Amino acid sequence: MRRQTAIRPATCGTARFFSVLGVSLGQLCACLLLLGCTYVPAEEEPAEEHADPRRHHHPPPNGEAQVEAPDYWNGEHLSGDWNGARQWARERGLDFEIVYTGEVMNLTRGGRNTRGATEYTGTPDVIAELHPERMGGWSGGTFYFWFTNVHGAGLTEKHLGDFQTVSNLEVEPFTTLYEYWYKHELWDGRFWIKAGKFDANTDFAASDYGGEFIHSSFGYPPSIVFGTYPDTGVGVQAGYRINDWAYVQAMFQDGAPNADSVSGLEPMFDGKGGHVSIFEFHFTPPQLPEKLPGTYRFGVWHHTGDFEEINVDRDPPEEVSSGYGLYAIFDQRLFKEREDPEDEQGLGMFFQYAWAPQDRSEAQHYLGAGLVYRGAIPGRDEDVAGAGIAHVRFSNRLNETRAVYETAVEFFYRVQVTPFLWLQPQLSYVDNPSGTGRDGLAAGLRFEVNF
């Protein structure tokens, strides 16, 4: 599990619905839901169990048959298999993970101040999936639960003062049932529907390669307003694969989620926060070589709330009805080391662009790009190295405050110490934080332990 999203500086309030090209995004969601109801659930193939190929090499006594011995350091969990309890639960439909992610960040120069500018953020997560089919029930369904706690502090609020947020973990401390939803797949997985409380960025506006970075904008462009970390929202999603190279999905979600609501039901669709809708189209060019696939995403979003107008001359600012925007995200593999389809070693790149109206979004234009290489060092096949740049062009209405742009550059190297322990040192340089600040240089180390 890797958290790929981050809290954003508040840029809006709440709103009413808006239609695009004469058809609302909510109606598009409804069409996908109606389509799914015409199909009958298909039988799923049972999950394939992969035996550990590593074996104990000492000869067994008395010529007895060789017995597999646990390989602790190459196992997926720090606490092992719990004497077979994990496998027993998995076979009966319960998959669960206990993960702790921690991060130390230091502002070495620039920003607002460097005095005491070392901060720690940590988050334990308990994640569980229930599969009814393995329990003797229906096929195609999955129940999902994610409980989390976030503690500590980050650099942006207290020291750096950047707009985009230098770490995707930084947020005010909270404890909540972060996600709970049910997902059902129909027609051999070509259609799916998900309902419950969820992080919208898991399925929407997400870059495959960008998710490896620590900086928040590589998770999703900062101009998009939807229910994501830490404020996941209640709603419904649906997706449909048209053919081998085209895929569409849509979402309808509460527009004013609140991390303080453990269930997410307290402010749900209360009429004050409106709702948010997204429609996204995935395109995988069939002309690309099989070993060099690419996924190109195009999306539009619309929020029904009342957004504060961007105008430095008015205090308090007026409100404008609804917010909206568009985005494009490209992921493309450039080089693959081996022909083995299971081997992911090689070089990939990503590109992000997003736009929102300058009268209701501080981040009018966003551009992001980066390179990611898995297995760059011989013998370190699972390590990941990356370099990326995230650039925000602020609304022209902020020109009187000289807030024109902010650019962040990140370099990282993610090390797999064991399958259950990762270390990720990184270095970030922020040019013109929030458009007016001193250039800042931040260094950090993130670790992730799967218990």
Residue with tokens 């269930």: 263
Beta bridge partners of 407: 391, 431
Mean pLDDT by 10 residues, the chain (451 residues): 39 34 41 39 39 34 43 85 93 96 97 94 97 95 97 95 96 93 96 96 96 96 93 95 96 80 57 87 91 95 87 74 94 92 92 94 95 94 97 85 89 96 98 94 98 95
Cα 86 to Cα 2: distance, rounded to the nearest angstrom: 21
Beta bridge partners of 185: 192
Q: Quick one: pLDDT at residue 413?
A: 98
Q: Work out the number of other CB atoms within 10 angstroms of the CB of residue 79.
A: 12
By C-alpha distance, which of 35, 31, 38, 41 is closest to 187?
Answer: 41
Q: Quick one: pLDDT at residue 259?
A: 55
Q: Quick one: pLDDT at residue 30?
A: 42
CA distances from 388 to 201, 286, 335 (A): 19, 27, 18
Straight-line distance from the first to the last Cα atom of the chain, in angstroms, rounded to the nearest whole number = 12
Q: Which residues of 395-419 are buried (b: 16+ CB within 10 A; e: fewer)?
A: bebbeeeebeebbbbbebbbbeeee
Beta bridge partners of 303: 276, 323
The full set of domain ranges for the chain reads 14-41+71-450
Phi-psi region of 244 (alpha: psi -120 to 50; beta: other; left: phi over 0): alpha
Domain 14-41+71-450 architecture: Beta Barrel (2.40)
**What's at 89, amino acid-wise?**
A
- Residue 110, classified by CB atoms within 10 Å of its CB into exposed (0-12), middle (13-18) or buried (19+), is buried
Q: Quick one: pLDDT at residue 274?
A: 87
CA distances from 365 to 237, 251, 310 (A): 27, 23, 14
Q: Quick one: pLDDT at residue 140?
A: 95
Segment holding 34, helix H or strand E:
helix 25-36
By C-alpha distance, which of 157, 225, 160 is closest to 366?
Answer: 225
Q: Tokens in use for 362? A: 């501080």
Cα 123 to Cα 235: distance, rounded to the nearest angstrom: 25
DSSP string, 120-165: EEEEEEEEEEE-GGGGTS-SSEEEEEEEEEEEE--HIIIII--SS-
Cα 357 to Cα 324: distance, rounded to the nearest angstrom: 7
Q: Residues with Cβ < 8 Å from 138, sequence gap 6 or more?
A: 41, 132
Q: Quick one: pLDDT at residue 272?
A: 67
Cα 147 to Cα 387: distance, rounded to the nearest angstrom: 31
Q: Quick one: pLDDT at residue 319?
A: 80
CA distances from 118 to 53, 108, 152, 155 (A): 43, 9, 11, 8
Cα 422 to Cα 416: distance, rounded to the nearest angstrom: 5
CB 222 within 8 A of CB 210: no
CB 14 within 8 A of CB 272: yes
Q: Quick one: pLDDT at residue 10?
A: 36
Cα 97 to Cα 119: distance, rounded to the nearest angstrom: 27
Q: Is the dihedral of CA 337, 339, 343, 348 positive or negative?
A: positive
Q: Residues with Cβ < 8 Å from 254, sequence gap 6 or more?
A: 227, 233, 234, 235, 264, 267, 268, 269, 273, 275, 276
Cα 196 to Cα 143: distance, rounded to the nearest angstrom: 10
